[in-house]
Amino acid sequence: QVQLVESGGGLVKPGGSLRLSCAASGFTFSDYYMSWIRQAPGKGLEWVSYISSSGSTIYYADSVKGRFTISRDNAKNSLYLQMNSLRAEDTAVYYCARDLPTIDYWGQGTLVTVSS
């Protein structure tokens, strides 16, 4: 069955960096577009970034452009999100998502907390 498992979340100080990973299994990862979507505590869903199946096309939300970098390694069935210059408003659960463009599979999420 399809599984998406995020890791790498944690507590980081403002201005710091963190790298999230998502391990995919149960499907041919290299055939699918992927996205990161986040949810601040008690708030709604916010799309963060998209990457095409080959990794050649990438988009970001304006709120993270220039600070976050999405990437993938199809040989390792893995998706990544490098987050730099983190701000308090980046505090959220980050979900790895299979993008169709509807999201048919989500990971369980990893919590990123940005606080001094």
Partner 1 sequence: EIVMTQSPATLSVSPGERATLSCRASQSVSSNLAWYQQKPGQAPRLLIYGASTRATGIPARFSGSGSGTEFTLTISSLQSEDFAVYYCQQYNNWPRGLTFGGGTKVEIK
Of residues 11 and 100, the one with the C-beta less far from partner 1:
100
CA separation (Å) from 113 to 24, 28, 91? 24, 32, 5
Residues lying near partner 1 in the complex (CB under 8 A) are found at 33, 35, 37, 44-47, 50, 52, 57, 59, 61, 95, 99-104, 106-109
Minimum CB separation of residue 15 from partner 1 in Å reads: 26
CA–CA separation, 68 and 18 (whole Å) = 10
Tell the residue number behind the tokens 């990161």, with chain if given.
Answer: 36
| CB of 6 closer than 8 Å to CB of 22 | yes
Least Å distance between CB 67 and partner 1?
17
Minimum distance, C-beta of residue 52 to partner 1, in the bound complex (Å): 7
